């Protein structure tokens, strides 16, 4: 497997290093961004990243989640999601949020809800590292695979996922009912009965 490393600006002669391992160590020492499991204390910044993504996707009004809900849902007695963060000297700059899904055909799957890297930190391989850490987690948890969605107009994301040989399907449609709709429907059904 070939490893492609972009040298930090102050390194001009890669022949100074006797092997790839030394070169990779130098690169890693100069990259202060660490990928780690998310903690409850990260949630305020996580919600900021979620709102930043919503702005990018032209849907800021869609974000109704709160830190209190995220604490209960991720750190309560029955956590329903997990996440990894990318952190450097600027704080938490990236996020990979996932949860478990069960396929009747394939069994346990990891569902990747979002990968978000704050705009100022893009182009530094942070999204790649978050994605690869999430892939490893799927295998560590004995999942049969991973699933996620990508907006059809988000060409940078589509191209990123294609680099991994991702199967991008066009034959499935997303279906959604909001809680207010469910309540209204069930009320109507109850009144008819």
Q: Where are the domains positioned within the chain?
A: 1-30, 34-192
DSSP symbols for 118-186: -GGGTTSSHHHHHHHHHHHHHHHTT-S-EE----TT-HHHHHHHHTTT----SS-------HHHHHHHH
Q: Provide mean pLDDT across the span 12-30.
A: 45
User: What is the pairing mode between strands 146-147 and 107-117?
Assistant: parallel
Q: Is the pLDDT of residue 52 over 90?
A: yes
DSSP secondary structure code for residue 37 in this structure: E
Annotation marks residue 161 as catalytic: yes
Q: Is the pLDDT of residue 10 over 50?
A: no
pLDDT tens digits, residue range 139-175?
999 999 999 999 999 999 999 999 999 999 988 888 9
Distance CA 63, CA 47 (A): 9
pLDDT band at residue 8 under the 50/70/90 scheme: very low
Identify the active-site residue in 81, 99, 111, 161.
161
Q: Which of the four CATH numbers 3.40.47.10, 3.40.50.1980, 3.40.630.30, 3.30.460.10 does domain 34-192 have? A: 3.40.630.30
Q: Is the pLDDT of residue 59 over 70?
A: yes
């Amino acid at each position: 497997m070939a490893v492609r490393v972009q040298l930090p600006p102050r390194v001009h002669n890669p022949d100074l290093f006797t092997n790839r391992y030394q070169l990779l160590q130098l690169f890693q020492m100069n990259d202060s961004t660490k990928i780690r499991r998310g903690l409850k204390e990260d949630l305020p910044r996580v919600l900021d990243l979620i709102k930043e993504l919503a702005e990018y996707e032209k849907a800021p009004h869609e974000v109704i989640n709160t830190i209190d809900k995220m604490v209960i849902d991720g750190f309560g007695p029955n956590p329903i999601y997990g996440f990894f963060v990318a952190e450097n000297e600027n704080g938490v700059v990236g996020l990979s949020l996932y949860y478990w899904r069960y396929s009747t055909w394939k069994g346990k799957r990891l569902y990747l809800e979002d990968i978000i890297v704050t705009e100022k930190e893009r182009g530094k391989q942070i999204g790649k590292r978050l994605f690869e850490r999430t892939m490893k987690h799927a295998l560590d948890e004995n999942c049969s695979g991973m699933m996620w969605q990508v907006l059809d107009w988000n060409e940078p994301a589509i191209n990123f996922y294609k680099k991994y040989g991702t199967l991008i399907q066009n034959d499935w449609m997303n279906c959604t009912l909001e809680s207010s709709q469910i309540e209204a429907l069930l009320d109507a059904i109850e009144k008819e009965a």
